[in-house]
Amino acid sequence: MRGRLKLDPATDMLGAIDVQPSFMPGGELPVPDGDAIVPVINHLLADRFLNAFATQDWHPPGHSSFASMHPGRTPYDVVSMPYGPQMLWPDHAIQGSRNAALHPGLDSARFSLILRKGLDPALDGYSAFRDNDGTSRTGLAGLLQARGVKRLFLCGLAGDVCVAWSAEDAIEAGFETYLVEDATRSIGMILPDGGNSADIARKRLEACGVVFVTSNDLTL
């Protein structure tokens, strides 16, 4: 989609997913060019959205999704967990650490809600709406519905993991859902079948109804 999209300050909300140093250059799980989204998100917070929330990955030490907890395994291996396949990651976003905080350059005062996820040591949580078992809910959908939110504009890190899962769940929860491309970066992993995780995630999101926009497409 390209062209101007008029925002409704009362019913539109920006969601900034995992804009944390852990996922930026120098972090434990860096997304290429991840820090470049901070000024774009700040522009959206200052000039486009009255309502916004953020999420933080917030893992306890020794989280089961860490490759370090699985002898003989390395980051990006996939293992079977009680809730299904789980990709293993480097230790990251450890509760209370500097890299788990929201990026210091982000205008965090503009968020009316900051939701922490991935707290259960035995269960990972990519989406802002539910954990990876598909059933444990964060309560975000009900809160946004109670506030009268109709359209969600998601951005953050990484576009092919936590942002994508959040967007899919937002659609399922009944929100008209947009992904702000210039305020999002993806890992772009090359998968065993040769596919690129960013391309696969985009096709998946477009198929379920997520609309891709840029910050310049949005106007009040």
pLDDT of residue 163: 98
In the set 12, 18, 57, 91, the catalytic residue is 18
DSSP H or E run through 86: strand 84-87
- Which residue positions in the chain have pLDDT lower than 70? 1-2
Residue 188: phi and psi, rounded to 5, are 70, 50
**18 belongs to the catalytic site:** yes
Domains and CATH numbers, the chain: 5-61+91-219 (3.40.50.850)
Interacting residues of 177 by C-beta distance below 8 A, sequence separation 6+: 151, 152, 154, 167, 170, 171, 209, 210, 211
The answer to whether 208 touches 171, Cβ cutoff 8 Å, is yes
pLDDT of residue 190: 86
Rounded (10°) angle between helices 162-172 and 197-208: 10
**162 belongs to the catalytic site:** yes
In the set 91, 131, 162, 169, the catalytic residue is 162
The answer to whether 44 touches 217, Cβ cutoff 8 Å, is no
**What is this structure's pTM?**
0.96
pLDDT of residue 105: 98
In the set 57, 91, 117, 155, the catalytic residue is 117
**117 belongs to the catalytic site:** yes
pLDDT of residue 207: 98
pLDDT of residue 1: 46
pLDDT of residue 2: 60
